[in-house]
A and B are shown apart, each in its own frame.
Chain A
Amino acid sequence: MAAYSLDELEYWNDKIEKLVWDAGLDCYEQHFEICSYEDMLCYESYVGMPSHYPHWSFGKAYERQKTFYKYNLVGLPYEMVINSDPCIAYLMRDNTLLIHILTMAHVYGHNDFFKNNRLFKRDTRANLEMEMFKAHANRVREYIQDPSIGPDKVERILDAAHGLKFQTCRHGERKKISEEEEGTVPERLKEDLLAFLAEKGKLAEWERDLIHIVREETMYFIPQLETKIMNEGWASYWHYQILNQLELPQGLHLEFLQRHHLVIRPHQGQINPYFLGFKMFEYLDQQPGGREKIMAIRSEDRDQSFIRRYLNQELCEKLHLFSYGIQGDDIVVTEVSNEEGWKTVRDNLANAVGLGSIPIIRPVGVENGTLLLEHVCDQRELELNYAQETVKYVVDLWGGKVDLRVKIDNNPKIISCSEGKIVNIHD
């Protein structure tokens, strides 16, 4: 039996909610569901959704998470929040009262962010998302049960679509329909490999539908990927403000400080989004313009612009940020946050957050049935083993030969994959 009652949760929630209102946060109606450890693991494996289509990768995610917890490699998340209206959050039954209080305050931060950030407003429809996931799940199950399709064929398409799920239009906006010429890629599909394949690949209708299902789900998650640092920073900033005003009994207050510091501690050699986001909002709140300014930032920015605009030299130095690169077998510090270096550090970080960590592959044309792709290359090059395997997925969906233009050690090369999935690299 847990060491708290539902009444206690409601008592603290009322106080939190009042502070949330007073602070001017603007939230969807909030629902909390108290769930078991097992359920939490499942929600985590199925991207938080109570209903989701089946695929082995979710089974893998489950086993993986469970193993990690078993060996204490990571802690269970305190909470999961879904961007939906009403906003749904899960609280794990076994947690202490203080963790629940902390989590609830944190959840309101996310809730406000979901409702007000530009990306979420533009690209997701919070009141319909749960229904969308459910409808997707039903459709996929129908295909699996259809005797003329069956689980293996569905899996083949889902494997491929999952492998390419981030190769879709990144900024939500849909381009106008334009003139189409044979052999060229229409303007509206130029930045959307997945939609291109769904439309132009040699596929059956149900196969196209599966790709669209995966694509729509990615669209739903892109705003979260693009605002990971801001979103976690915002929620952490607010749980910290709120809990400090809650007048917690001393015991709970000490536990709060301890938990809070665990959440926002820096991860050596990496970027903890909670740490960076929290520190940035805390700093910005103390600047002229303060509260109003950060409210505007949470509405307008994404991680990339947030970092480019507001991560200044003072913050870079305070947070001891540095850039690193690989030289031979060593990881070597390439730039540190000082007078000359901090801008490079900032720009490197800004380029690598959110979808910046995922290479862009674009369709450029079709020649004699061969699909030509190119990696839009900045300094960073593709991991070749993964590229060679992933190109096979493109072949699966395209239904013919695929050539991918890449750079290897700064030389232009082509990774070719034949219809029979034979891959070779040539000039």
Chain B
Amino acid sequence: MAIFKDGNTNSSDRSAWDRKRHRQLVEESIKKNLGDIIAEESIIGQSKDKKIKIPIRGIKEYQFIYGKNAGGTGSGEGQEAKGQVIGKANGQPGQQPGQGQAGNNPGEDVYETEITIEELTSYLFDDLQLPDMERKKFAQIESERKFKRSSFQRKGIPPHLNKKRTLAEKIKRQKMAQRDKCDSEENESPERIPFHENDLRYCRIKEDTRRHSNAVVICIMDTSGSMDQTKKYLARSFYFLLYQFVRWKYEHVEVAFIAHTTTAQEVNEQEFFHRGETGGTYISSGYEKALEIIEQRYNPAIWNIYTFHCSDGDNWGEDNAKAVALVNQLCTISNLFGYGEITTSSMYGSAISKEYEKQIHLDNFIMVMMGDKTDIWPAFKKILDTESGGNS
């Protein structure tokens, strides 16, 4: 005689611990693949709330399994003939028969997950493990005074009266009065209970001082004709990362974008990330523009200035000397000057980079080379290392 047992209706979540650990491992795997993800064109210049899909390699459980040449057996409809092609090797069918739980599908276990760019950047920069003192270097001066409500008090001035809370107090008192009456078994219809002074509640107001970081990041990009699609894309990826970083780390940082060919102009974020141009190259024009902007808006005595420049280094020869001079000038007023050279063809630096190397020996000047998208992340890290190493 069989025994029937009605199992618990309220289930215990026994797999919770293992699921949590699995998610942790998936998260770690996302972080490991970040280098690939950040260089995806589709995410450049997107707003921070936009959701993007990124492929995640599933956490594999490796075992010894047979490879492709193992073949298999299947059941069909009787129409199959020798030599007939019945599918693609990477699709269906092809599962080994009778595997049960024995083997895993050798197929790439990739699934997609959706995350916002903001989540992505926080993964990215968590990974950097920057020390907190970073923040201090962006000294804070300008403060903003704001008044914020916080909790309640019995005394106050009429404009701070909190009506909702006051009403709640009155209802409480009303209910208490009713209960007292019930106890004394008097069953009168509830009389109207007016507000009492003790019901009144006022908002407590706190002064909230918020400090602004007074830092500005100036992004200069070479948009000349020699900067082909790939190069521009690399430069943009780099700036995108930088820009995301700055926005993530510092709440109030100003960013100025400069695009230059032989002349330079200040552009907005949208244009900076999406516009293409052609023309020759005077690197100095970009630097001049930067100096101009600094002079007009960001007094170096008050502002921390971070200047970055990306170019393929294909500068017109006669401009080199001027460029070097301006870099020196920018270095003296900037906290950091970063020069990123995009070298798609070879890893040999350009003429201008050699000039920089020879003539600029300031601690806050840093030069990085980027050949393809895998170099972006290391380059970015190198710049940040200088940032935290140089001054601390």
Q: Report yes or no: B73 in contact with A349, Cβ–Cβ below 8 A.
A: yes
Check if A323 sits within 8 Å of B4, measured CB to CB.
Answer: no
Contact partners of B3 in chain A: CB under 8 A: 29-32, 86
Residues of A within 8 A of B346 (CB): none
A305 on the interface (CB 8 Å rule)?
A: no
| Interface presence of B144 (CB below 8 A) | no
- Tell me which of A10, A54, A326 contacts B18 (CB under 8 A): A54
Those of A322-370 within 8 Å (CB) of chain B: 322-326, 328-336, 341, 345, 348-349, 352-359, 361
Interface size, chain B (Cβ < 8 Å) = 67
Residues of B contacting A320 in the complex (Cβ-Cβ under 8 angstroms): 75-78, 80
A36 contacts across to B, CB distance below 8 A: 7-9, 11
Most chain B Cβ neighbours within 10 Å, of A60, A62, A381 = A60
Asked if A255 lies at the interface with its beta carbon under 8 angstroms from chain B, I say no
Residues of A350-408 contacting chain B, CB below 8 A:
352-359, 361, 375, 379-387, 389-390, 393
Q: Indicate if A55 sits at the interface (CB-CB under 8 A).
A: yes
Interface segment, one of B81-89, B132-140, B290-298: B81-89
B80 and A336 form a contact (CB under 8 A): yes
B205 within 8 A of A: no
Cβ-defined contact, B82 with A386, below 8 A: no
User: A354: nearest residue on chain B (CB-CB)?
Assistant: B98
> Are A358 and B74 neighbours in the complex by a CB distance under 8 Å?
no
Residues of B within 8 A of A55 (CB): 18
Q: Does B147 contact A (CB under 8 A)?
A: no
- B20 near A59: Cβ-Cβ < 8 Å: yes
Set of chain A residues within 8 Å of B66, measured between Cβ atoms? 357, 359, 380-383
Q: A58-B15, A331-B86 are in contact. Are A323 and B102 (CB under 8 A)?
A: no
CA of A59 to CA of B75, assembled, Å: 33
Given contacts A229-B98, A331-B87, A349-B97, contact A269 B76 (CB under 8 A): yes
A23-B392 Cα distance, complex, nearest whole Å:
85
In the assembled complex, the Cα of A29 lies from the Cα of B4 at a distance in Å of: 12
User: B-facing mask of A157-168, CB < 8 A → 1, else 0?
Assistant: 000001111110
A14 to chain B, nearest CB (A): 8
**9 new A-B pairs (CB below 8 Å) besides A221-B101, A267-B74, A324-B71?**
A31-B4, A42-B15, A166-B63, A271-B75, A320-B77, A324-B94, A353-B98, A357-B97, A357-B99
Q: Which residues of A contact B72 (CB under 8 A)?
A: 270, 323-324, 348, 352
Residue of B nearest to A13 (CB): B2
Kindly list chain A residues whose C-beta atoms are within 8 Å of the C-beta of B8. 35-36, 39
Which residues of A in the span 29-51 have a Cβ within 8 Å of any Cβ on B? 29-36, 38-39, 41-42, 45-47
Cα separation A269 to B71 with both chains bound (whole Å): 12
Q: Are A166 and B102 in contact (CB under 8 A)?
A: yes
- CA–CA, A36 and B61, complex, Å: 29
Known A32-B5, A224-B100, A332-B85; contact A275-B67, beta-carbon cutoff 8 A? no
Q: Which residue of B lies closest to A338 (CB)?
A: B82
Tell me whether B19 and A59 are in contact (CB under 8 A): yes
Contacting residues, chain A, for B7 (C-beta < 8 A): 33-36, 39, 90, 93
Asked whether B25 lies within 8 Å of A348 as measured between CB atoms, the reply is: no
- Cα distance, A55 to B90, chains bound together (Å): 30
B175 at the interface (CB under 8 A from A): no
Chain A proximity of B245: nearest CB distance (Å):
31
Tell me, yes or no, whether A63 is within 8 Å of chain B by CB: yes
Which residues from B are CB-within-8-Å of A326?
68-69, 71, 89, 94
Find out whether the CB atom of A162 lies under 8 angstroms from the CB atom of B5. Answer: no
A420 to B268, CA, bound (A): 50
| Contact, CB under 8 Å: A42 / B14 | yes
Task: Known A60-B22, A329-B88, A331-B89; judge A322-B69 contact (CB<8 A).
Answer: no
Option from A330, A355, A361 in Cβ contact (under 8 Å) with B88: A330
Which one of A62, A319, A361, A386 has the greatest number of beta carbons of chain B within 10 Å?
A386
Q: Report A202-230 CB contacts with B as 1/0, cut-off 8 Å.
A: 00000000000000000001001100110
Q: Is A266 an interface residue (CB 8 A)?
A: yes
Question: What are the residues of chain B within 8 A of A57 when measuring CB–CB?
Answer: 18, 22, 61
Give the interface centre of A266, A345, A357 by most chain B CB atoms within 10 Å: A357
Q: Which of B67, B73, B101 has the most CB of A within 10 A?
A: B73
A228 to B96, CA, bound (A): 13
Closest to B60 in A: A389
CA distance A163 to B13 in the complex (A): 26
Q: Name A's B-contacting residues (CB within 8 A).
A: 6, 9-10, 13-14, 17, 29-36, 38-39, 41-42, 45-47, 54-60, 62-63, 86, 90, 93, 104, 155, 162-167, 221, 224-225, 228-229, 266-273, 275-276, 303, 319-326, 328-336, 341, 345, 348-349, 352-359, 361, 375, 379-387, 389-390, 393
The verdict on A352 contacting B70 (CB below 8 Å), with A45-B15, A267-B75 known, is yes
Which 9 residue pairs are nearest across A and B when measured between Cβ atoms? Answer: A269-B93, A59-B18, A271-B97, A59-B22, A59-B19, A383-B67, A325-B71, A353-B98, A389-B62
Evaluate whether A330 and B93 lie within 8 angstroms (CB atoms) in the complex, with A6-B6, A380-B70 already known. no
16 pairs from A and B in contact (CB 8 Å cutoff): A13-B4, A35-B8, A42-B14, A56-B21, A59-B20, A60-B22, A163-B61, A163-B63, A268-B93, A269-B74, A270-B93, A319-B75, A323-B73, A328-B89, A354-B98, A381-B67
Bound CA span A193–B389, Å: 50
Q: Confirm or deny: B17 has a beta carbon within 8 angstroms of a beta carbon on chain A.
A: yes
Q: Which residue of B lies closest to A346 (CB)?
A: B73
Q: Complex: how many Å from CA A163 to CA B123?
A: 30
CA of A45 to CA of B22 in the docked complex: distance in angstroms?
13
Contact pick for B73, options A14, A275, A345, CB 8 Å? A345
A31, A32, A269, A319: the one within 8 Å of B92 (CB): A269
| CB-based contact B65/A34 at 8 Å | no
- Contacting pair B21 A357 (CB below 8 A): no
- On whether A358 and B14 interact (CB within 8 A), knowing A271-B98, A331-B88, A332-B85, the answer reads no
Distance (whole angstroms) from the CB of B184 to the closest CB of chain A: 47
Evaluate contact between B83 and A357: CB separation under 8 angstroms: no
CA distance A85 to B78 in the complex (A): 43
A-facing residues in B17-73 (Cβ within 8 Å):
17-25, 58-73
**Bound: A32/B1 CA distance, A:** 11
Indicate which residue in B23, B73, B78 contacts A324 across the interface (CB closer than 8 Å): B73
The distance from the CB of B1 to the nearest CB of chain A, in whole angstroms, is: 7
What's the least CB distance linking A105 to chain B, in Å?
12
**B44 → chain A closest CB, angstroms:** 30
Choice from B64, B76, B88, B100 contacting A386 with Cβ under 8 Å: B64
A323 to B13, CA, bound (A): 44
> For A331, what are the chain B residues with a Cβ–Cβ distance below 8 Å?
85-89, 93-94
